[in-house]
């Protein structure tokens, strides 16, 4: 009679999420996994996963050990990119690791919101997150609407956008396909269109691009603490001094973007400005980013619009963490709000107008339907291009 193999005795089953430290090692240790086993898992993991860059608090782990506390199986699901889970399995004496790539499903949604006080509140009242507000403010309308100044109660924003799902689980926002802002100060239609050469941009109804030379602000939409003014009482100097820039209150370490493409002319300490970056742009423009905690560019380096040049800090003459941003034209500081006035926008080539018109009519049609019916899923589509694993 053949011997029936004994079923492997599963002694330990661990399911947990990484704590604030974001450490796989500490999490496994807290469950009593022996050091040698943690080391073996770490070695297998390193073949498919960059723990230093990719682990985050909240990432999910699952582990099965036998009665001798030998690891049989380990699974890791990154909270930001759950479509790329890691599986480690014991095969004989060895732990084998593999990383999956699961296709996300994109669903298209349409909503329309009416603004009471600010855009962020209107979007969250519609059940959507701040990440969607950031897409609208920073990317779609980043050069044409100043959401600190141009927004009035009763303005309407219509959106057609995609949400990406892993099964039934919402993972992240995909793309904003259409945004229609109908305001008392500014009104714009933004239609996303990718031409046959692969250039993807937002265009107004007549095919004029919404891109301009400058972004209206150098970081994610947050509170502005002090505007450009010729007179202001200075809290440290205790006298009226002009404030020839804009202060953005933000947490230390917040990314600071180049507002236009250019070349780094200063990257270092500059008196009261503290750690400062200065960029030179075409047509006699310069921008300055002051009080930084860290500088991430070198003098002479070329930068593109939205490249991160440094991190918010409180170096130099600053009472707290904020970014002091200056826009300089032909040697004197100007109000950044006026920068794109008169800037000639690119126009979509007439060769693409027919395809663009079709896309516009389709998307506007989806949005107009929401005025008659409540928000709903419009269509399911398999994710065409899975997002690359982003570095933090």
Q: Measured from the CB atom, is 218 or 245 closer to Zn ion? A: 245
Q: Token pair for residue 300? A: 């002479």
Question: Can you tell me which of 40, 217, 286, 324 binds Zn ion, judged by CB under 5 A?
Answer: 324
Please state, in angstroms and rounded to a whole number, the distance separating the CA atoms of residues 42 and 49: 10
How many beta carbons lie within 10 A of that of residue 101, not counting itself? 11
Question: Can you tell me which of 59, 204, 247, 326 binds Zn ion, judged by CB under 5 A?
Answer: 247
| Region binding Zn ion by CB under 5 A among candidate stretches 55-63, 86-94, 112-120, 244-252 | 244-252
Burial tier of 50 (Cβ tally within 10 Å: 0-12, 13-18, 19+): exposed
Longest dimension (CA), the chain: 98
Residue with tokens 């469950």: 31
Q: Measured from the CB atom, is 103 or 240 closer to Zn ion? A: 240
Q: Measured from the CB atom, is 106 or 247 closer to Zn ion? A: 247
Residue closest to Zn ion, measured at CB: 324
Count of residues that interact with Zn ion, criterion CB under 5 A:
3
Q: Measured from the CB atom, is 90 or 324 closer to Zn ion? A: 324
Q: Name every residue whose Cβ is closer than 8 Å to that of residue 235 and which is 6 or more positions away in sequence.
A: 319
Please state, in angstroms and rounded to a whole number, the distance separating the CA atoms of residues 327 and 343: 15
| Helices and strands of the chain, counted as H and E runs | 6, 24
| Region binding Zn ion by CB under 5 A among candidate stretches 26-34, 125-133, 153-161, 241-249 | 241-249
Question: Looking at the chain, how many residues does it have?
Answer: 392
Q: Measured from the CB atom, is 31 or 232 closer to Zn ion? A: 232
**What is the three-class DSSP state of 325?**
strand
Interaction of residue 180 with Zn ion, rule CB under 5 A: no
Q: For the CB of residue 145, give the shortest distance to Zn ion in the complex, in Å.
A: 23
CA angle 200, 205, 210 (to 5 degrees): 50
Q: Measured from the CB atom, is 235 or 282 closer to Zn ion? A: 235
Please state, in angstroms and rounded to a whole number, the distance separating the CA atoms of residues 14 and 31: 7
Q: For the CB of residue 219, give the shortest distance to Zn ion in the complex, in Å.
A: 14
Q: Measured from the CB atom, is 72 or 224 closer to Zn ion? A: 224
Best CA proximity match to 209, nearest among 340, 361, 366:
340
| Region binding Zn ion by CB under 5 A among candidate stretches 206-214, 243-251, 339-347, 369-377 | 243-251
| Region binding Zn ion by CB under 5 A among candidate stretches 154-162, 273-281, 304-312, 320-328 | 320-328
Q: Measured from the CB atom, is 188 or 288 closer to Zn ion? A: 288
| Region binding Zn ion by CB under 5 A among candidate stretches 39-47, 278-286, 296-304, 324-332 | 324-332
The footprint of Zn ion on residues 112-171 (CB under 5 A) is none
Please state, in angstroms and rounded to a whole number, the distance separating the CA atoms of residues 4 and 39: 33
Which runs of consecutive H residues, i.e. helices, occur in 55-127?
119-125
Q: Measured from the CB atom, is 85 or 245 closer to Zn ion? A: 245
- Rg (C-alpha) for the chain, rounded Å, is 26
| Region binding Zn ion by CB under 5 A among candidate stretches 44-52, 74-82, 177-185, 238-246 | 238-246
Q: Are the C-beta atoms of 294 and 255 separated by less than 8 Å?
A: no
Q: For the CB of residue 245, give the shortest distance to Zn ion in the complex, in Å.
A: 5
Query: Which residues of the chain form contacts with Zn ion (CB under 5 A)?
Result: 245, 247, 324
């Amino acid at each position: 009679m053949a011997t029936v193999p004994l079923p492997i005795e599963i002694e330990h089953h661990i399911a947990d999420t990484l704590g604030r430290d974001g450490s796989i090692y500490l999490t496994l240790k807290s469950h009593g996994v022996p050091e040698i086993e943690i080391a073996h898992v770490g070695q297998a993991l390193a073949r498919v996963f960059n723990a230093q860059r990719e682990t985050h608090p909240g990432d999910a782990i699952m582990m099965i050990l036998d009665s001798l506390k030998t690891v049989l199986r380990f699974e890791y699901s990154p909270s930001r990119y759950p479509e790329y889970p890691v599986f480690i399995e014991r095969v004989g004496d060895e732990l084998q690791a593999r990383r999956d790539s699961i296709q996300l499903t994109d669903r298209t949604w349409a909503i329309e919101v009416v603004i009471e006080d600010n855009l962020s509140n209107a979007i969250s009242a519609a059940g959507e997150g701040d990440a969607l507000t950031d897409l609208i403010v920073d990317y779609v309308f980043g050069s044409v609407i100043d959401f600190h100044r141009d927004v009035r109660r009763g303005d309407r924003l219509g959106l057609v956008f995609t949400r990406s799902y892993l099964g039934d689980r919402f993972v992240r926002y995909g793309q904003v396909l259409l945004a229609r802002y109908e305001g008392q100060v500014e009104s714009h239609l933004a239609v996303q269109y990718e031409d046959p050469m692969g250039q993807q941009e937002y265009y107004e109804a007549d095919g004029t691009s919404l891109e301009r030379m400058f972004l209206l602000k150098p970081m994610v939409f947050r509170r502005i603490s002090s505007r450009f003014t010729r007179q202001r009482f200075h809290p440290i100097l205790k006298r009226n001094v002009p404030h020839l820039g804009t202060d953005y209150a933000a947490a230390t370490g917040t990314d600071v973007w180049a507002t236009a493409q250019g070349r780094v002319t200063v990257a270092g300490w500059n008196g009261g400005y503290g750690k400062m970056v200065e960029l030179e742009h075409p047509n006699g423009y310069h921008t300055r980013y002051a009080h930084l905690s860290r500088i991430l560019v070198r003098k002479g380096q070329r930068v593109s619009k939205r490249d991160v040049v440094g991190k918010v800090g409180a170096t130099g003459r600053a009472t707290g963490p904020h970014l002091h941003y200056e826009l300089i034209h032909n040697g004197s500081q100007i109000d950044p709000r006026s920068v794109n006035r008169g800037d000639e926008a690119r126009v979509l080539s007439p060769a693409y107008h027919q395809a663009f018109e079709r896309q516009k009519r389709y998307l506007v049609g989806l949005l107009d339907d929401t005025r008659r019916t409540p928000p709903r899923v419009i269509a399911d589509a398999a994710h065409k291009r899975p997002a690359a694993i982003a570095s933090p």
